[in-house]
């Protein structure tokens, strides 16, 4: 399957906020209540369409555990978008956002689009972080904000796609240098002049499947 652009994403946030479940919901459209701990990094991909153009999202799902920080840091490099996730039912995951953000800003390219996500919006009864707080944080740090639920799939599509739209907009505006792969954006095979002529084998998984989630 060919694509016009490939965007590289990274999902970050404390352990247990639902990063892997968001990815699973986005790539596989399913929810798994019990999910293994992510070890190191995992990976998923999906094709979306923006402005009539096929865009492949390549999503790196990182481990939230502190031990893996040194590993996940190397994935910021070359990411065009980041989903910074916290859990609305756990205040400390919200409190740690600044350190995640600092990490992201420090290790990524400056144009990286960061989307702030308050996950588990279905657990309204156990909410500890108000929506307004998330909005305020996003405003303060210049992020896009959204509350999602990986369980009910509410806003999950939007979160990934809106981020892609923002990146796409930045490309149109010429903010991103699309020829520099360090920005996390790649032209598709038919656009790229020096790529192998035909993707004969194609993507065996059709681009719509998650990797080794679970």
Partner 1 sequence: MNIVGSVLLLFSNEEQAFWLLVAVCERLLPDYYNTKVVGALIDQGVFSDLVGVSLPNLHSKLTELGLDDMVALSWFLTIFLNAIKFDAAVRILDLFFFDGSKLMFQLALEILKENEELIRNSKDEGEALLTISGFMEKITDARVENSSEIFIGQLISNSYRNFGETFSNKDIEKLRLKHRLKVVQNLEDNQMRSIVKNVAKRCPLTQEELEELYNIVKEEHLLSWRSRINTSQHQKLTSIMEERPRFDPCNQSPYRMDFELFAQIFPNLLPWPVHEIFVIRCFRLMDVNVTGILTFRDLSYLLGIFLKGDSTDKVTLFYKCHLPPAFNLSDLDDVINRKSFDDNEPEIGVEASTIVGSNKSSPVRASRSSTSVTEGITGVDETAIDAASEADELCSQSGASSAVCLDSPIPSSHASMRDLELIVEDEEIKLPKNKNFPIVGSPFSDDFSLPDRAPSEISDSFSLVEDASDAIKILSQKMQSTTLQEVQRRSNASHKEPIEPITQIQFIELWKTFYELIPHDDMQHHHSLAVAGTLLLQLGETQKYLQKEIDDAMKVSADDEPKTPETPTSPQDGPPSRVGDLKSCLQDGEWRLQVEHIIATILAESSLSEFFEKKYSLLELAKKYRENPSKRKA
Cα 208 from Cα 195, distance rounded (Å): 23
For partner 1, the binding residue among 29, 30, 39, 136 (CB under 8 A) is: 39
Q: Residue 212 interacts with partner 1 (CB under 8 A)?
A: yes
Q: Residue 199 interacts with partner 1 (CB under 8 A)?
A: yes
Q: What does the longest C-alpha to C-alpha distance in the chain come to? A: 55
Q: Considering beta carbons, is residue 31 or 43 the nearer one to partner 1?
A: 43
Q: Considering beta carbons, is residue 73 or 165 the nearer one to partner 1?
A: 73
Supply the minimum distance, in Å, between the C-beta of residue 212 and partner 1. 4
For partner 1, the binding residue among 37, 136, 175, 182 (CB under 8 A) is: 37
Q: What are phi and psi of 157, to 5 degrees?
A: -55, -50
Q: Residue 43 interacts with partner 1 (CB under 8 A)?
A: yes
Q: Considering beta carbons, is residue 175 or 205 the nearer one to partner 1?
A: 205
Q: Residue 49 interacts with partner 1 (CB under 8 A)?
A: no
- Report the site for partner 1 in 80-139 (rule: CB under 8 A): 96, 99, 102-103, 106
Q: Give the x/- contact pattern for partner 1 in 68-87, rule: CB under 8 A.
A: x-xx-x--------------
Supply the minimum distance, in Å, between the C-beta of residue 169 and partner 1. 23
DSSP string, 91-155: HHHHHTHHHHHHHHHHHS-TT-EEEEEEE-TT-GGG--S-HHHHHHHHHHHT-EEEE--TTT-TT
DSSP string, 191-206: T-TTS-S--SS--TTT
- Helix %, strand %, coil % of the chain (to 5): 35, 25, 45
Cα 62 from Cα 69, distance rounded (Å): 9
DSSP string, 29-48: S---SS-PPP-SEEEEEEEE
Chain residues that interact with partner 1, rule: CB under 8 A: 6, 36-37, 39-43, 45, 58, 66-68, 70-71, 73, 96, 99, 102-103, 106, 186, 189, 195-196, 199-201, 203-205, 209, 211-212
């Amino acid at each position: 399957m060919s694509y016009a652009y490939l965007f590289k994403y990274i999902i970050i946030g404390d352990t247990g906020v639902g990063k892997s479940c968001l990815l699973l919901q986005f790539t596989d459209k399913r929810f798994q209540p019990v999910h293994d701990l992510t070890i190191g990094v995992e990976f998923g991909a999906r094709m979306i369409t923006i402005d009539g153009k096929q865009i492949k999202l390549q999503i790196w799902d990182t481990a939230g555990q502190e031990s893996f920080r040194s590993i996940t840091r190397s994935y910021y490099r070359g990411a065009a978008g980041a989903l910074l996730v916290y859990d609305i039912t756990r205040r400390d995951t919200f409190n740690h956002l600044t350190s995640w953000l600092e990490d992201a800003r420090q290790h990524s390219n400056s144009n990286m689009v960061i989307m702030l996500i308050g996950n588990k919006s279905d657990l309204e009864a156990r909410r500890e972080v108000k929506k307004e707080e998330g909005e305020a944080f996003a405003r303060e740090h210049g992020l896009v904000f959204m509350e999602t639920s990986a369980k009910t799939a509410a806003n999950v599509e939007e979160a990934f796609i809106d981020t892609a739209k923002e990146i796409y907009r930045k490309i149109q505006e010429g903010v991103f240098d699309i020829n520099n792969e360090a920005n996390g954006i790649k032209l598709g095979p038919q656009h790229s002049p020096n790529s192998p002529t035909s993707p004969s084998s194609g993507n065996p998984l059709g681009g719509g499947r998650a990797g080794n989630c679970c």
